[in-house]
Amino acid sequence: MRQSWFLAISLVLPALAAVAADPNPQQAAACVAALQARAEPMAQRLRNGDAAAEGQLLPVVTASFAFVGTVYKQGVRGPEADALLKAAEKAQSNIPPADLERTQNDCQSQGDHLLKQASYFERQFVARAARKRIDKLRRTS
């Protein structure tokens, strides 16, 4: 009896951990919005010629794309993803700066964790997307 209980727990816990590890689309959109807000001042510094800003910007953009990849794997794309992000940006506009900073810190950590849990192929895809985004941010004013 006791052995079957341990077996049941050993089968259920990994499944629960996997569910808890992946944010739902609304949570992911909130984190992407928060990380975009964190990235924008760094991107502006990069556009103004501060080469050191790129080193600070890359981890933020990479964490953001880890969320994008997670939601993509969940089947969220195009207009649905855009609507989620727009709603998250609107909701974020009412958050006090200290709360936004905590959210950004939490999201950055969670994005880093998502990336560490990703497959090699997924990490390469996210890294490539992040590099392309930084190149775009460098050119956009």
30 located within any domain: yes
Q: State how far the alpha carbon of 60 is from the alpha carbons of 19, 37, 81, 91, in Å.
A: 24, 10, 19, 20
67 located within any domain: yes
The pLDDT of residue 140 is 77
Q: Which residue has the higher pLDDT, 140 or 99?
A: 99
94 located within any domain: yes
Instruction: For the chain, give the percent of residues with pLDDT over 70.
Output: 84
| Residues 137, 57: Cα–Cα separation, whole Å | 10
Average pLDDT of span 112-136? 96
128 located within any domain: yes
12 located within any domain: no
User: What domain range is 87 assigned to?
Assistant: 24-139
The pLDDT of residue 141 is 61
Cα 39 to its chain centre, rounded Å, is 12
pLDDT in tens, 15-57: 334 444 689 999 999 999 999 999 999 999 999 999 999 999 9
pLDDT in tens, 54-70: 999 999 999 999 999 99
1 located within any domain: no
Q: Which residue has the tokens 């192929």?
A: 121
| Residues 86, 75: Cα–Cα separation, whole Å | 18
The number of domains in the chain is 1
17 located within any domain: no
31 located within any domain: yes
Q: Please work out, in degrees rounded to the nearest 5, the angle formed at the alpha carbon of residue 73 by the alpha carbons of 75 and 130.
A: 120
The pLDDT of residue 86 is 97
Q: State pTM to two decimals.
A: 0.83
